[in-house]
Structure 1
Amino acid sequence: MRILVTGGAGFIGSHLTDAFVAGGDEVTVLDDLSRGRPGRLDPSIALHKVSITDAPALRAVVESVRPELICHLAAQIDVRVSVDAPADDAVVNVVGTVNVLEAARAVGARVLFASTGGAIYGVDAPVPTSEDVLPGPEAPYGTAKYCAEQYLGLYNRLYGTRHAALRLANVYGPRQDPAGEAGVVGIFCGRAFRGERPTVFGDGHQTRDYVYVGDVADAFVAAARTDRPGVWNVGTGHETSVRELIDLLGHASGRDLDPEYAPARPGELQRSALANDSAARDLGWTPRTTVADGLAAVYAWVADGSPDRAGR
């Protein structure tokens, strides 16, 4: 297929680009490079420095490339930024997504949208959480992602398209900038490599569903090949606590880690994990990488100097 990846120079996007290229697809990347880095991409990949908020420029690229599939990963991804500037977050995550949908409609392309599983379901969701649980986001970021999902569904109803959304758990792996909640793995690995103590906010019993970036790329490829509309969780279905992360990292690094504890951050979810039964049934996808193996890969990447073109 001809595929356009928005946000393709980012952490997840660059891994996804590699996965499609490995499968023989023709891939083009669109990224405003606010977070993305060209060095993450194979030099043969065409890169257009364009923001999804610039509708005319976005449409010009799409009409030039004429992709059959657009994987839409470009986003404002920081929950804290969304709280401080909700309107700015909505411009990128809602209006930007509508711009992508309109550009896709002009050339008849299907859209796969990278949504959120950790921020969309809310504090009262059962764990593990399935897609039929009504979202109750606690921040503008999750609200904007849910709104964008609704636009995908609307376009499917209005225009008979087959757009789909993947609700991602806490994605981690090589190439991830150590920022934000999901960057805790990178942060901890960096501290361990430098011989520093990791900082744990709260008692360390809070859990997340950590899914390896290579598995996430495989989920997008599976959804692309399935060619059907839907909303699917992409996670392991298992909870891993912060204390468990530290224990596993100690084993991976060969260091005796002694965390320091800080006050819990207000509003932080205490538990989160995504049921992946629907993705297994509809896409034939299940994660293959254990947290132990994934942590070892990230630590090896940090120890190697955190190269942009790290492997999967």
Structure 2
Amino acid sequence: MTDQTVLITGGAGFVGANLADALATAGHSVIVYDALVRPGVARNLDWLRARHPARIQAVVADIRDGATLAHAVAESDAVFHFAAQVAVTTSLTDPRTDAEVNLVGTLNLLEAVRAQARRIPVLFASTNKVYGDLPDIALERAGDAYRPADAGIRARGIGEDRPLDFHTPYGCSKGAADQYVLDYARSFGLPAAVFRMSCIYGPRQMGTEDQGWVAHFLIRALRGEAVTLYGDGAQVRDILHVRDAVAAYRAAWARIDEIQGRAFNLGGGPENAVSLLQILDHVAALTGRPVARVMRDWRPGDQRYYVSDTRAIGEALGLAPATAWREGVANLAEWLMTEGSTAPQPVGFAGAAE
């Protein structure tokens, strides 16, 4: 499957740029559709153009621009949909824009795909926030990390059979878009699938407090600045290196006829479950100095524990084991200390992953 035209909305963002690079390297033409409003993404686009001058086409436009989006879809053989408002905090201050970008923008895309007289696969980047803050899962603290009291959940993580429970405007907008994608597959036969992503990290991520926290911790530490922790720092996430996320999206495209209409949890799984405090300790070891910490109250909708059950996606797509988190974080630190060191100051939110 080479020499096809692929549309990546949010293609200059963190995950989108890594996917665009991989697809262009594999011989595809890539339409990078991005409004370029986030700090650092224009630099990602420049990087892509320099690496693949004959294969990268940029469309600088908003996902809410239905006409421009429809034109890009008409030129495409597959769509990877990453364009989004990605910060919970921003959704709380401006819920209308959050809904317009995440829900209406997704509906624009689905309608543009439906209007075509051919099958165009759609792979949608959803979020683990569709499951809410998981209040019914009893937790216990073990050292610097929370863990479920239930041994089965500890061993497997949260599965796709978990009831949806949208919290915060961000959770509502992404969750509604998630359901629209699945229903378009059911109602209209669109070859579409959903990835409910956990914390993706890796090169080309310039994270902030609001989004991309693994990179944010490293950036602050490398500058000798304090990191603000909301809550007690023992909250746990399963982190996934971006190269593993890219492999999953590519495999999903290749097997779209087998997985059409399904939603998968995409994360590092129990083997890569780590607390914020544990990441900070590892960052301190990588940088050779302790990381100062400022403690703040819990933020709305924050999950004390979320780890993806990755068995379904691994079996459906034949994925290799995920990169071990210590190795992956060291890889990101190396990138930030070299190529990433000249990046713009991270302000606001960046990227398109949890």
Q: TM-score when scaled to structure 2?
A: 0.81
Equivalents in 2 of 1:74, 1:201: separation in Å?
A: 26
Equivalents in 1 of 2:197, 2:47: separation in Å?
A: 21
Equivalents in 2 of 1:179, 1:260: separation in Å?
A: 15
Instruction: State the one-letter code of the partner of 1:290.
Output: A
Q: Of 289, 304, 322, which aligns to 1:256?
A: 289
1:140-159 pair list within 5 angstroms:
140-159=169-188
| 1:20 lines up with 2:23 in the alignment | yes
**Secondary structure of 2:62's match?**
coil
Q: Of 45, 48, 51, which aligns to 1:41?
A: 48
Deviation at 1:153, TM superposition (A): 2.1
Equivalents in 2 of 1:184, 1:243: separation in Å?
A: 12
Q: Of 45, 51, 66, which aligns to 2:62?
A: 51
| 1:265 lines up with 2:298 in the alignment | yes
| 1:234 lines up with 2:266 in the alignment | yes
Deviation at 1:7, TM superposition (A): 0.6
**Secondary structure of 2:114's match?**
helix
Q: Of 84, 93, 98, which aligns to 2:102?
A: 93
**Secondary structure of 1:164's match?**
strand
1:55-83 Cα deviation digits (max 9, x unpaired): 111112222x2x12110111111111111
Equivalents in 1 of 2:176, 2:32: separation in Å?
A: 24
**1:275 corresponding residue in structure 2:** 309
1:266-307 Cα deviation digits (max 9, x unpaired): 332211111111101111124431111111111112211516
Equivalents in 2 of 1:103, 1:22: separation in Å?
A: 27
| 1:211 lines up with 2:240 in the alignment | yes
Equivalents in 2 of 1:78, 1:2: separation in Å?
A: 30
| 1:136 lines up with 2:176 in the alignment | no
1:75-114 pair list within 5 angstroms:
75-107=84-116, 108=118, 109-114=120-125
**Secondary structure of 1:29's match?**
strand
5+ unaligned residues in a row in structure 1: which ranges? Answer: none
Equivalents in 2 of 1:187, 1:22: separation in Å?
A: 28
1:72-118 Cα deviation digits (max 9, x unpaired): 1111111111111212111111110011111112233121101011x
5+ unaligned residues in a row in structure 2: which ranges? Answer: 138-152, 344-354
Equivalents in 1 of 2:202, 2:299: separation in Å?
A: 26
**1:293 corresponding residue in structure 2:** 327
Equivalents in 2 of 1:258, 1:193: separation in Å?
A: 9
Equivalents in 1 of 2:94, 2:123: separation in Å?
A: 26
Instruction: State the one-letter code of the partner of 2:334.
Output: A
Instruction: State the one-letter code of the partner of 1:116.
Output: T
1:96-144 Cα deviation digits (max 9, x unpaired): 0011111112233121101011x11112265521111011121111111
Equivalents in 2 of 1:166, 1:55: separation in Å?
A: 23
1:22-79 Cα deviation digits (max 9, x unpaired): 222222111111123222423321101111101111112222x2x1211011111111
**Secondary structure of 2:8's match?**
strand
**2:216 corresponding residue in structure 1:** 187
1:70·1:111 contact (CA, 8 Å) conserved in 2?
A: yes
Equivalents in 1 of 2:22, 2:324: separation in Å?
A: 19
Deviation at 1:181, TM superposition (A): 4.0
- Paired-residue identity, %: 34
Equivalents in 2 of 1:55, 1:177: separation in Å?
A: 29
1:10·1:40 contact (CA, 8 Å) conserved in 2?
A: no
**1:72 corresponding residue in structure 2:** 81
**Secondary structure of 2:130's match?**
coil
**1:31 corresponding residue in structure 2:** 34
Equivalents in 1 of 2:102, 2:321: separation in Å?
A: 27
RMSD of Structure 2 on Structure 1 (CA): 1.8
| 1:246 lines up with 2:256 in the alignment | no
Equivalents in 2 of 1:9, 1:266: separation in Å?
A: 28
Aligned length: 304
